[in-house]
Every structure is written in C-alpha cells, then in structure tokens.
Structure 1
C-alpha cells in the first residue's frame, strides 16, 4: 500500500525526490499526469510521486491542482504527505503549501526549504544559494521566473494569508491551534536529520514540505519492503539534450565541450518552428545528427543560441512571441526531436536538462508512469521508460544543479561498466 505521496511542481523535481525513496528499496512510481486517479495505483506501490506540473500555472490554478491531489490522498488513507518544493523557491510556493494544509484538514505543515547537500541553506528565515541570498543569486536573474525575495515567509505571504511561524535552529515552538506553516532553518544535512527525527513518529501521519535533500533523510526513517534489486548501469554512449538557460548549466556545457563532448547547436527554426520536423530540410538534419551521435560516445544537442539571442530575435519579432511562448516552443520542439531520434534508432542514454524540456518529451509520448532507478550524481536522476517496445535510459537534471565538471563526472559513472561489458561479449 502507499505509505507516502509526494507532490512536485515539475518533472525534474518529481524525479529528484522519487529516486531518494527508490534508492532505499521502496517500490516507487512516478506519475506524469496531474489528473491521474490515485485509486488506480497498484497495491504494491509504497511511494507515489505525482508531477503536478504546476510551476508555471497561476497561483489559483496551482492551488486547485494540489488541493485535488491531496484530497484524493486523504480519502484513500495515505498517511504521509510530502509537498516537494523547488530548492531555489521558484514557483507557487505559498498557494501550494496552503492547498496541502487546507485539503488535508491538518493543523500544521512542516516546511524545511533547505537542501544543504547542494549548498542551499536557510538561516534566520532567509534562503541562501552558495551563501548568497537567493534573490541575489543566478535564480534572481532567471529570464522566465526570477526569484525576487529571499525571506521565506515573505515569499509565502505573496500568495497566502495562512499563519506562519519561523523555527530557528536554537528554538522550540509550542503547538498551535490554527492552520499553520512552520518554516525551519537548516544549514547542514545533520540539521535536516535532527528535524525529521523530531517530527517523524511511526504510525503517526506526517505533513511535510521541502526538497530532495529532505526526502533523502526521510527515506531512511520510513520502513519499506526492500523489494527492488539494484542492477548495474549498462551504458555505451550518452547524449545530453539541453533545454535549460540556467548559467550553471551553460558553464557545464562549455566545460564538457572542452573535454571531449561533441556539441551540436540547433538553429532558430529547429528550436522554435512548430512544423520543423515536417520540412524538407529536417530529414537531412536528422540524418546528420544521427551520424554524429553514432560516431561519438559523448554528445550535446543544445537549444542555446550561440549568438546570444541575436539569431532568434527576428523570428521572435516576426511571430510576436512572448518569453513564455519561446519557452514552450523550445521545450516542445526539443521533445519532438528526442522522439524522432529514438524512432530513427538512437541507442544512447539521454540526459535531459530542464524540467520543461523533459516534460516536452514526455508529452510527445503515451508514457504515464516511469520507474526511477538511482541518483547517479547528486541531483542527476536515472530512470527508465518503455518507448515503442524498447527500454530507454533517461537522465534528468534541474538547470541549477551541479558544478562545472558534472557532465564529465556523469559520463564516467555511466560508462563505468563499459569495459566489463565489452570483455564479456
């Protein structure tokens, strides 16, 4: 039976969290449809992760999506509810946390926004990225969803009037009677563990919110069947498909290209023309990509404009596109291209950066459920999908995760068993 439901606001967040429980042996399933009826889930699933895909919805729409999911969970008697939030506090934080409290009919939601394992901490109620207040970090400069505040309670109050209490590291907070969100400081993984140990009581329902780092700690407290065997990763080549504009990801791409990755830049039409794959020129382009990918074991297919946007501007002006239009067109077209490459016989494991791009691919298929495998590198999740009779390895990474060497490290981990495989053959 389902012991825990996790509700994430985007796909990469769902995967980041799901893999923490899968790694502890829990039978974990990720559902990509926010309208999925929870009663359909198999009885042997212990952790159910729902991608609410609410990051870019309005505050009101996000509230309703999360409310409906939690309401179903309560009816089914799922005891523990985890609202996964973005580690940089992007999205509809206030409305979604409030929806969890309202739908659950519980008094207190415990919110621990920190992810110390990724250098994202909360001190005196202020959220930091690498020691910098989040609104002053790269996330404050995000072209699609900049974070404009670093005080967690102020971010919540932008969308909610619910009672808030800050729990600083040296304080204990008395019980409350009115619906309340308790916001916890945390600067280390040890502090996360301390908080969870103080909150989790076996056979007592828990209402909690936070990031994948919190999930990693909580996964060690819940007891699971340990029914999933862990098989070694078998991978002969890796294709990184980049749909993220995060500066951290761009640095990773530059470093990878300088260290042996073959990088292919898409043109403006390939990135943003809705019918590009139906044009005469697309057949030649796809053949060229397949030739490159078949002769290089580490490749990048990049949606970034190498001219810093100058090549795209005429297309944007001519078609009167908004920033959101551009985001959606790129993610959708990248998804179509990935599907086409697989249909052409691409045999690589595919790493997809950015939740929008990942969802753009999933939306091109009939996939409803996926199986998380493991966290190959912190923040980079391996999962499998069934696509037209084949099992495909997909890796996902949120745009802002990892150091500049991440793609190099990832390739080394994915290829670790290659020599043994070749020798066995």
Structure 2
C-alpha cells in the first residue's frame, strides 16, 4: 500500500479515492461492516467481534480508502477510530496518509486532524479543504460554497456542521499550533511556497498549516510544495487537493491488478434497469431529484417508514425490483422535497423521535429497499447519494469494498465496481449530497444504462 485515505463517510472516501484512481493508481475503498445494533451503539461496528477482516484495509491496492463513519459521532469516538484506522493499516513512514476533510467542514474536523497527526507522528498537517471545481474556495481564511460564506449556508445547520466559516478560527481549537497561508503567498510560486512549508515543518513540535485556495492551480502548488518537504507531512483536504498529491512508489497496473479487474468486470449481459437510492436531503440533491421523471421515483411513505422501516423498505424495494425486471429505471427515496422532509420529521416528533432517530429509520428502510429490489432483479448499475445511506445499502448488499475505475460522471461523482456480495461486478456511482449539477442524478442513471447496453 502506497497511500491511505481516511474519510469520515463513504461518499467522501469515494470521491477522494477517485482522484488517485484517475491518475492510474489502483484504488480500493473498504466499507466497514456494522452489526445489527450499530445504530443504537454506534461504536459497536468497530468493536464487533469477528469483523476485523472487514475493517482492516488490505495492502493489495496501491491506494486504500477506509471510512470511520464518524461524521455524526462524538469527538472522542472520532479520534479513536481515526487512530485505529491508521494503526490497522500498518502505515509506515513511506505511506502517504491523506485525511479526507468534508469540503463544507462538517464533522469532527479538528479531532480527526489531531488524531491523524498523533497516529503518524507527522511534523506537519497541510490543510486545504477547497474544491474549486465543486464551488468550494477559501479566501482570506473564509471558506465559501458557491460564493456564500459557509456559516450562511444550509451546511451550518447540519447536526455536526461548522461553527464558523473562518478556517483558521475553526482549526484554532486544536492543541497543535496553527498558521494560515494567505492567497498572496500561495500564488508566489512553488519554490516560495515550499520554503513556507519547510519552515513550518522544521519548527519544534507538530504543527497545522492551513491554506487559502481559489483555483485548482493553487491546490496543485500546495501539494507540490508539501511533497518537497523532508519532514513527514500528512495531508488534510477534500477531493480537490487529493487530485494533485504525489503518491510515493509505483502503484500502477500490475498483473495482480489485472487479475482482480477481471474478477470484478462489469456485467454487460444484464439487460435490466438501473437502480437509484437517494438518501441525501441536501437542497442540491432534492433539485437534482426533481429532474427525475415522476414515474421513475418510488418515495417511501413517512408514517410507514417510522412505524416499521423493514416492512416499508421491503414493499418499496419489491416495487423497484419489478421496474428493474422490466428494463426500467427505479429511484428509491425517503423524501422528494423539503415539505416531504418536514412532514417526516413532524410525524417523528409526534411519535417521540428526534431528528437523528428519524434519520436512522429512513436509512434502514432505504437499505432494506435496495436489497429487496436486487433480490427481485439485479440492476444494470447502482446509483447512491448520501454517505450514511450508501454505507447501509452496501452493507445490505454484502459489499465490503469498491474498486474505483478512475472515471467520473462529473467532478466529485466517481464510478466504481462492487468487489464482493451477490451483485459483485456491478457498476456503482456515488454522490455526496451537495455535489453535482441539476442533471447529476439523471446523467448518472443514464450512464449506468448505457454501460449495460454496450
């Protein structure tokens, strides 16, 4: 293994891993297995006896991405899982470690960054969450999404959203000293920027160095400058920075890789429809879902989901499976609009359920629906959006890993293939909630059907 990516959710691991796969590096995303009671005891999925082989990355791929599933965990749990992820990977000083940070700074950013430094004994953490291709940039320390400061977006209202749009202020909670590099210094050229990085890494004790970046060329310069440092550096960023990071060693195609690719080759004889599962309720995802034809969408009934997620999921999945068998697209979702979401939350409140408990039941229903659809008719391909739901769906499908192809539908929407489970070899496209243009879901499903017809 040449590089290890540690992400707090699956879609993040996928879109960051894609950046390495696109450069020709064999990249595998490992999916941790959750025991049945994982939602009541979130740490159980990492302590469940007998699951070690499912949560330990293998060294067969040049780049391995693992998920800690800590976006909504408490900080101590997040810290522990990151340390464990690095330790079980047996990442020595020659292994590049990339801590995937959400491009909207949700989750336990500081705790997981500290844990990454602790686990690697790195001298410096290079932090650049910008992803200009997806509308995320940092200027004067202020992180914005499509030109709007992060604190003024819907992401700030997330259950574990950022408390500030000012990156240096957010990172100041770290026990490690933090310095910020302004855009003027980032734009001075790689040699000058490398001197800044070397100076920070050469000081006594580990440090955090964050960066402004408004263009992809800025991220390329940051990655290049960090690569010139003699001290050990860990990277922390979204898929934007990952695109330009140089991985040590030669991880490109080998005979072993070619053999594994054959084993997980896409099923081109499966003449059936494509299956979509929409677990995100991000405004952008809902706008994308609105572009999907009504006849294609199967929305779960809120009261049924909250009363019995398994039954509701089974019934919806069976309907979806019949559409697949007829060669049609089926899209499963828990909500088609914000009013749908509010209705579900209101029903949950009347039943004494908080937002987190409602989310868990919807996730269970969608995962069950995905498995029920597949049991009726394996799909031509699978599309899923929403990290937590995508993990649950993969677990329901007994898929423990995804091989990334290096292709993508658009920026941040990668293509992979399931490596295990009853539909191994099936193409999977994943999308973080806030990524993609208005036609992202439609285009993803169309691509999956086109692959089937080749």
Query: What's 1:304 paired with?
Result: 335
Q: Which has the higher mean CA deviation after the structures are superposed, 243-252 or 294-303?
A: 294-303
Q: 1:311-341: CA deviations, max 9, x gaps?
A: 4356413431111111111112211111111
Query: What's 2:356 paired with?
Result: 324
CA gap 1:327/1:415 in 2 versus in 1, 3 angstroms: same
CA contact (8 A) 1:262 1:300 kept: yes
CA contact (8 A) 1:79 1:205 kept: no
Query: What's 2:13 paired with?
Result: 14
Query: What's 2:302 paired with?
Result: 268
Inter-partner Cα distance in structure 1 for 2:74 and 2:398: 26
Instruction: Give, in angstroms, the shift of residue 94 of structure 1.
Output: 0.5
CA contact (8 A) 1:269 1:276 kept: no
Inter-partner Cα distance in structure 2 for 1:418 and 1:375: 17
> Which one of the candidate residues 170, 173, 176 is aligned to 2:184?
170
Inter-partner Cα distance in structure 2 for 1:217 and 1:236: 38
Inter-partner Cα distance in structure 2 for 1:232 and 1:360: 22
Query: What's 1:184 paired with?
Result: 211
CA gap 1:270/1:296 in 2 versus in 1, 3 angstroms: farther
Q: Which has the higher mean CA deviation after the structures are superposed, 110-119 or 313-322?
A: 313-322
Q: Which has the higher mean CA deviation after the structures are superposed, 304-313 or 176-185?
A: 304-313
Task: Report whether the alignment pairs 1:212 with 2:239.
Answer: yes
Query: What's 2:190 paired with?
Result: none
Task: Report whether the alignment pairs 1:79 with 2:95.
Answer: yes
CA RMSD of aligned residues (A): 3.0
> Which one of the candidate residues 151, 160, 170 is aligned to 2:166?
151
Query: What's 2:76 paired with?
Result: 60
Inter-partner Cα distance in structure 2 for 1:67 and 1:151: 26
Instruction: Give, in angstroms, the shift of residue 347 of structure 1.
Output: 2.1
Q: TM-score, normalization: structure 2?
A: 0.81
Give SS of 2:348's match: helix
Give SS of 2:426's match: strand
Inter-partner Cα distance in structure 2 for 1:167 and 1:363: 41
Instruction: Tell me the matched-pair count.
Output: 412
Inter-partner Cα distance in structure 1 for 2:356 and 2:233: 36
CA contact (8 A) 2:288 2:439 kept: yes
CA gap 1:219/1:20 in 2 versus in 1, 3 angstroms: farther
In the alignment, structure 2 segments of 5+ residues that lack a partner are 33-44, 47-51, 186-192
> Which one of the candidate residues 85, 98, 108 is aligned to 1:92?
108
CA gap 1:322/1:305 in 2 versus in 1, 3 angstroms: farther
Task: Report whether the alignment pairs 1:289 with 2:320.
Answer: yes
Instruction: Give, in angstroms, the shift of residue 59 of structure 1.
Output: 0.9
Task: Report whether the alignment pairs 1:249 with 2:285.
Answer: yes
Task: Report whether the alignment pairs 1:407 with 2:421.
Answer: no
Query: What's 1:137 paired with?
Result: 153
Inter-partner Cα distance in structure 2 for 1:192 and 1:69: 26
CA gap 1:146/1:154 in 2 versus in 1, 3 angstroms: same
CA contact (8 A) 1:246 1:399 kept: yes
> Which one of the candidate residues 125, 129, 133 is aligned to 1:109?
125
Task: Report whether the alignment pairs 1:199 with 2:198.
Answer: no
In the alignment, structure 1 segments of 5+ residues that lack a partner are none
CA gap 1:204/1:108 in 2 versus in 1, 3 angstroms: closer
Q: TM-score, normalization: structure 1?
A: 0.87
CA gap 1:290/1:68 in 2 versus in 1, 3 angstroms: closer
Inter-partner Cα distance in structure 1 for 2:272 and 2:184: 50
> Which one of the candidate residues 61, 65, 81 is aligned to 1:49?
65
Query: What's 1:388 paired with?
Result: 422
Inter-partner Cα distance in structure 1 for 2:105 and 2:184: 24
CA gap 1:251/1:32 in 2 versus in 1, 3 angstroms: same
